[in-house]
Structure 1
Amino acid sequence: MFDSNVIRRWAACLVSVLLTSSCSDGSGFCGSSVNAKAPVCSMTEAQMAALPVRAEWWHPKQTVTLHALETASQTEALRRAVGGHAGMELAGIAVPDPESQRCDIYVALPPNPSAFQLEAVGHELLHCLAGGFHPDMLTGKAASSYLSARQAAAQRDGLSLAIEAAEKQSRWTLSCTFGTGSCPPPGRKAGKTIEITFHPVTADTQDRLHRALEPTSHRDQGGILTDPSGRYCDIYLTLPPTYLGRGMESLGRRMLACFTPSSSTVSTEQRQRIIDELLAASPPTPNPIKP
């Protein structure tokens, strides 16, 4: 049985769409007998969350553009644009361009994101780095995240246009136009782009980095290094072992920290020296591409 309140369900299309669904009342995608055996409907949340990460590729350096969706109209427009099924709500999508090592991430990201929304950020970033790392949750078959440069450009343009059109429509109301009521919030901010390099480290090295770089923080692990210009960011973290869970949440938090000006009192040069010294004394990490 599904939780009748807030049950999270995940599914994948070509670029791994991240979906949620509430199907316990017999409605929506999972309410149809045709779809009942789909993994997204037949597996529990815990079973899906425990699926291991199996990288399709490993491109640790990516030019990432973050498109933060802050309103319901934006996320609904994204769901319709990618052909999301009725009864499901889109949480995020990645549009990787492995030929140019560029990746655009569209995620539902209100001002105070929940742990689930942070997992979505990490999940989509990992698609940029590792491709189709989990099966398609609609069919159970192996899924690829590969897009040619032309396909990726068409995806980016189509998604951005759909979101902008929906946002313009949501801002047009009679009460707002004639000044008789409040107006919807302004349109979404333009996506910000940063070159991100992910450095997989062992769990022990991750903890040591965290204690050395951010001893006052009890929430995150690992560490990041951003250059003063804000154009580059290095993430030092263990590779999430499963396609949901705390590992993805930590990766999501770290990615968002790359896009946020640092308030650390430790200079970039000091952080770089600490990281270099710790990594020099650390054991090597295994190849993310499992044989």
Structure 2
Amino acid sequence: MAALPVQPEWWRPKLTVALHALDTARQTDALRRAVGGHAGMELAGVAVPDPESGRCDIYVALPAKPSAFEFEAVGHELLHCLAGGFHPDMLTGKTASSYLSARQANDQRNGLASAIEAAEKQSRWTLSCTFGTGSCPPPVSKSGTAIELTVHPVTADTQDRLDKALGQASPQPGGAALTDASGRRCDLYLTLPPTYLGRGMENLGRKMLACFTPPSGAGVSEQRRKIIEEVLASSPAAPNPVRP
């Protein structure tokens, strides 16, 4: 199923994305149990889209040095934010929807946060730590950083032109992530992934995570913006991701 084409349920290219990076095995296991996953099931991430408010929370396993699969998972969950249930249920093969009402999304966010927090409290309860006879587990990194994200789909030819103009010649898929000077808004310019997993999803995940990296300088961001605008001005528009 991973090689089947993406079929968007909806298309919301502009939204607020809150990233919850899970960097411990206990956090990831708590996420699996919170969504009803069975023992032994590998769960890399979950998206909680709230289309009514234009918000989406992404919970993903994200260690200090993510693997290609973990980048794929980030891209996969982000696409659920942007395009809803774009693939059938992986276990049953039946059509699946990602739609949640504002209340359902809020309840799910609270439930996931509580499960992850409880798992971390449990992991920090050790005899040596509690009674001061040994070291304590390190505190977990803070999560839930949010950014205003806008995705601009481009054709493969336009993406190649962007890569060359920005000096990003590489055999890997490219495109551009442009974070503004405030670090609170980001624009992505790239081709959308054609299948559920694979290099396109990995690239989407990598580019989204680049949005959460503060810009190196306002001058650099402005220069990149001008280059991108020049390339887009002479490029054909990408087709609407939602097919009639």
**TM-score normalised according to structure 1 size:** 0.80
1:227-238 pair list within 5 angstroms: 227-238=180-191
Q: Distance in 2 between the 1:236 and 1:80 partners?
A: 35
Residue 144 of structure 2 is matched in structure 1 by 191
Residue 138 of structure 1 is matched in structure 2 by 91
1:82 matched to 2:35? The reply is: yes
1:263 deviates by 3.6
SS at match of 2:232: helix
Letter in 2 for 1:172: W
User: Highest relative contact order (Cα 8 Å, sep 6+), 1 or 2?
Assistant: 2
1:214 deviates by 4.0
Residue 252 of structure 1 is matched in structure 2 by 205
Residue 69 of structure 2 is matched in structure 1 by 116
Count of aligned pairs: 244
- Aligned residues of 1:55 and 1:289 also touching (Cα < 8 A): yes
Letter in 2 for 1:112: K
Q: Distance in 1 between the 2:25 and 2:138 partners?
A: 11
1:12-91 pair list within 5 angstroms: 48-91=1-44
* Identity within the alignment, %: 76
Unaligned residue ranges in structure 1 (runs of 5+): 1-47
- Aligned residues of 2:181 and 2:217 also touching (Cα < 8 A): no
Residue 24 of structure 1 is matched in structure 2 by none
- Aligned residues of 2:72 and 2:198 also touching (Cα < 8 A): yes
**TM-score normalised according to structure 2 size:** 0.95
- Aligned residues of 1:60 and 1:199 also touching (Cα < 8 A): yes
- Aligned residues of 1:59 and 1:129 also touching (Cα < 8 A): yes
Q: Distance in 2 between the 1:84 and 1:263 partners?
A: 40
Q: Distance in 2 between the 1:138 and 1:105 partners?
A: 21
Q: Distance in 2 between the 1:115 and 1:266 partners?
A: 31
Unaligned residue ranges in structure 2 (runs of 5+): none
1:284 matched to 2:229? The reply is: no
Q: Distance in 2 between the 1:217 and 1:202 partners?
A: 17
